[in-house]
Amino acid sequence: MTGLQADYVIVGAGSAGCAIAYRLAEAGRSVLVVEHGGTDAGPLIQMPGALSFPMNMKRYDWGYSTEPEPHLGGRVLATPRGKVLGGSSSINGMVYVRGHARDFDHWSDSGAAGWAFADVLPYFKRMETWHDGGHGGDPRWRGTDGPLHVTRGPRDNPLYHAFVQAGAQAGYEVTDDYNGEKQEGFGPMEQTVWQGRRWSAANAYLKPAVKTGRVQVVRGLVERLVFEGARATGVRLAGGKVVSARAEVVLSAGAINSPKILMQSGIGPAAHLAEHGIEVRADRAGVGQNLQDHLEFLVQMAASQPVTLFKHWSLMGKAMVGARWLFTGTGPGASNNFESAAFIRSRAGVEYPDIQYHFLPLAVRYDGQTVAEGHGFQAHVGPNRSASRGEITLRSPDPADAPRILFNYMSDPKDWEDFRLCIRLTREIFGQEAFAPFRRHEIQPGEAAQTDDELDAIIREHVESAYHPCGTCKMGAANDPRAVVDPDCRVIGVEGLRVADSSIFPRITNGNLNGPSIMTGEKAADHILGRRLAAANDEPWIHPGWQVAQR
């Protein structure tokens, strides 16, 4: 590959971009992947148990944060996004969730034709190599030879089993594979970890793609897209270098940076672009709008037995975990330690789960700060489908400036009702017999917080982002004024340009977004190549009594 020209230019070596590069190379196309971040080598990224480090390091993270959030008392929340090979799949919590079948049916119903569950399931299967770890599941629903290894932690800690038992004792379903036929229920959690290493999109897709000789990574900050007439022909990097595409440019810069680059290039809401003196190339009102995320609250319990991960939390303990991982690839360092999970419905009349749980046998925040109580455990809980919507807008026309990020968290009154319900349902689960040998007292929110007002005050102060931004370049019908891309991922109003990453999600999916983001890259690659996998006809399990029962 000579010169800075190839058949395709992909902006962003993240979850979707790496998958697209791999599939285009496999089909014989030449690809230049433009990435601002550097190498993902080094133990802090590759060791799963060290996950709290890379997402808090300037070297690997764009370092974005929100504007003061008006409904959270003006709190400014961190918005980590991967600035490294592998993108956010190199700094995330490695939790693997496909999403519920009905999420994708909703996409299709809202204008993203060809993205129903029947259409996307074959791509989830194509991308996976699934390892059940002896914990059950139905292999007919899973992939066997894809680039992405999906595994389950060893679940050695008794608290993982207590969580699932407590769910069953509270009357909920149990599922042995929430990524298979039946998402609803309590069961083992899955992770993108393989042989003790983080199995990021860089490890799964980009490195094999580069080895073909058809994919090259170009380091640089994209300032704007380059056009000839109405056609995108490449990107201009800081410093003036231009990277050119003979066929198409694909933006896979994520839910924050994809709309930012579009707006810097004159594609977006005309009035907003005019405010910044940017010439309008395509007036697309939806660019940067429809921003969604998952918020979660940590319900934390003090433990009555020293069975939690806190025993490794001293400097010496962490050194021992690190050394064991380095030399043997095993131990607590070889897992993200999210090894049990649940998806439940909040109330009767909700067709499929709208609350997610991550269970962790440690009481700790995402920034790595443990609570003063010592031994403890926690459930991360939150609603999956908030109606609140935010926006990404430009702070200035300078590409080096961070965008303005406003999620508008908790702006919908139902969010408050939902979060209070999440806390009360979690208290009921932790109050079950299965936790009796391990339960001391509630740390957060604390037993004193019982009324709606008391809970709201604690939610306002302590709710955290799960770091699942999406929706800012919504996919929809070509005649939808709010859609940014059509169902082939083509940007409406220009030629030779597609967007493929979590920004195109019409609505947020159930659970963590890395799996659906990679699937989006896999499927977008087929749209680019003019081919499709045949639709599936597998039907998901839906609770037979959902109209009248919550569990």
* Binding site listing for FAD: 84, 92-95, 222
The answer to whether residues 143 and 127 touch, using CB atoms and an 8 Å cutoff, is: yes
- The CA distance from 179 to 397, in Å, is 42
Within 13 Å and on the Cβ side, how many CA atoms surround 110? 17
Q: Which of 375, 380, 468, 543 is catalytic?
A: 468
Q: Which two tokens mark 276? A: 């910044």
Phi, psi values for residue 324, rounded to 5°: -60, -40
Whether the ω angle into residue 445 lies within 30 degrees of 0, i.e. cis, is: yes
H-helix or E-strand spanning residue 460: helix 452-462
Strands (DSSP E) contained in 467-508 are: 497-499
- The CA distance from 455 to 343, in Å, is 22
The answer to whether residues 384 and 367 touch, using CB atoms and an 8 Å cutoff, is: no
Tell me, yes or no, if 468 is annotated catalytic: yes
User: Residue 534 in 3-state DSSP?
Assistant: coil
The answer to whether residues 300 and 365 touch, using CB atoms and an 8 Å cutoff, is: no
- The CA distance from 334 to 337, in Å, is 8
Angle at which helix 514-529 crosses helix 117-127, to 10 degrees, equals 100
DSSP 426: H
**Residues recognised as catalytic:** 468
